[in-house]
Each structure stands twice: as C-alpha cells, then as structure tokens.
C-alpha cells in the first residue's frame, strides 16, 4: 500500500528513499520533494509545541489523483514522508499512524547504532526489512 517511503533529514535532503514499483521512481522522488513544502508549512503553523506524539503526525499532506501523501515529523526535524496508493479506500488514519510509529521506532534503532553518523544515508538492513514489510503488506 505504501508505495514510497522517504526519510528526509533536517536540512531537507533524503536520508532514505525507497519506492516499491521500481519504475517511475523519479516521479515518487518528485512527489516527496514537493511535499516537503507542505511539511514545512504545517510545522510552522503548529508553533513551538511539538512534544506530543499526536502532533508529530502531520496527516494527509496533499492528495493527487493516484496517490496520497502523508507526513510525520520527529522532534529533531527529521521528516518521514509516505506515499500511499489511493486505490485502497480502507486505509485508515490509524494504520498510517501505526506505520509511522514503526518507522520512527526503526529510525531510533538506526540512530542508536554508534557507527551511524547522523546525516548519513540509512543503510541498515533492519530498517530496510521493516520498510519492505510495510510496503509489501498490502500489495
């Protein structure tokens, strides 16, 4: 269901981006890039209070005809962007939230690795497998 998952660093460059249909990958990259504007907009609108988990989840950023883009930002301004297929109507908000939570947990695990320098591309296999499971689970 999640056709593309991206982790964007604070400086708005991608730490990890992966799409399931490997063709047309550039399109997803572009969508993620454009969604960053929306993310910034939502962050600035939210103000200073970002402690609550509920506010970490940004919700639907914008829908297109085929896809919907959801966003999530961590306290360190690392953004998770997920592009999902619009054709699945039963995808509830809760499921998206849980997917983001899993992403956040895996990201934390990656951070805990002392050999990982923040700002590097994420090459953790555990993270990869988690994202794969998220992408394939609905397909």
Partner 1 sequence: MEAAAAAAAGTGCGPGSPLLLSDGEQQCYSELFARCAGTASGGPGSGPPEAARAAPGAATAAAGPVADLFRASQLPAETLHQITELCGAKRVGYFGPTQFYVALKLIAAAQSGLPVRIESIKCELPLPRFMISKTEGEIRFGNSAELHGTKVQIPYVISEKNTFKRMDDEDKQETQSPTMSPLASPPSSPPHYQRVPLSHGYSKLRSSTEQMHPAPYEARQPLVQPEGSSSGSQGAKPPRHQASLIRSFSVEREPQDNNSNYPEEPWRITEEQREYYVNQFRSLQPDPGSFISGSVAKNFFTKSKLSIPELSYIWELSDADCDGALTLPEFCAAFHLIVARKNGYPLPDTLPPTLQPEYLQAAFPKTKWECTLFDSYSDSMPANQQPHDLNWMEKLSINDMTDFPVPTQDMTGNDKQALKSTTDEALPKDMSENPATPKESNSLKARPRSRSYSSTSIEEAMKRGEDPPTPPPRPQKTHSRASSLDLNKVFQPSVPATKSGLLPPPPALPPRPCPSQSEQGFEAELHPQLSRAPSQAAESSPTKKDIPYSQPPSKPIRRKLRPENQAAENQEPSATAGGPASAATVKPHPTVQKQSSKQKKAIQTAIRKNKEANAVLARLNSELQQQLKEVHQERIALENQLEQLRPVTVL
Interface with partner 1 (CB under 8 A): 105, 108-109, 112-116, 123-126
Residue 46 or 126: the one with the smaller Cβ distance to partner 1 is 126
Collapsing DSSP to helix, strand or coil, 82 comes out as: strand
Shortest distance in whole angstroms from residue 14 CB to partner 1: 18
70 vs 107, beta carbon nearer partner 1: 107
Q: Is 17:6 a contact under the CB 8 Å cutoff? A: yes
Residue 83, strand partner residues: 4, 69
* Beta carbon nearer to partner 1, 67 or 72: 72
Question: Smallest gap, in angstroms, from Cβ of residue 112 to partner 1?
Answer: 4
Minimal distance, residue 126 CB to partner 1, in Å: 6
Beta bridge partners of 57: 72
Least distance (Å) from partner 1 to the CB of residue 74? 14
Angle (CA) 133 34 118, round 5°: 60
Provide the token pair at 73.
């930002």
Is the Cβ of residue 11 or residue 115 nearer to partner 1 in the bound state?
A: 115
Q: Please give the Cα distance from 137 to 92 (Å, whole number).
A: 15
């Amino acid at each position: 269901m999640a056709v593309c998952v991206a982790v964007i660093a604070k400086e708005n460059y991608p730490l990890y981006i992966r799409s399931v249909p490997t063709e047309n990958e550039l399109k997803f990259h572009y969508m993620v890039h454009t969604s960053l504007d929306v993310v910034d907009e939502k962050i600035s609108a939210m103000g200073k209070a970002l402690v609550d988990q509920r506010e970490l989840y940004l919700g639907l950023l914008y829908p297109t005809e085929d896809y919907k883009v959801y966003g999530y930002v961590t306290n360190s301004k690392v953004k998770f962007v997920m592009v999902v297929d619009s054709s699945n109507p039963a995808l509830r908000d809760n499921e998206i939230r849980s997917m983001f939570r899993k992403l956040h947990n895996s990201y934390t695990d990656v951070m805990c690795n002392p050999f990982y320098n923040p700002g590097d591309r994420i090459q953790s296999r555990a993270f990869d497998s988690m994202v794969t499971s998220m992408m394939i689970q609905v397909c």
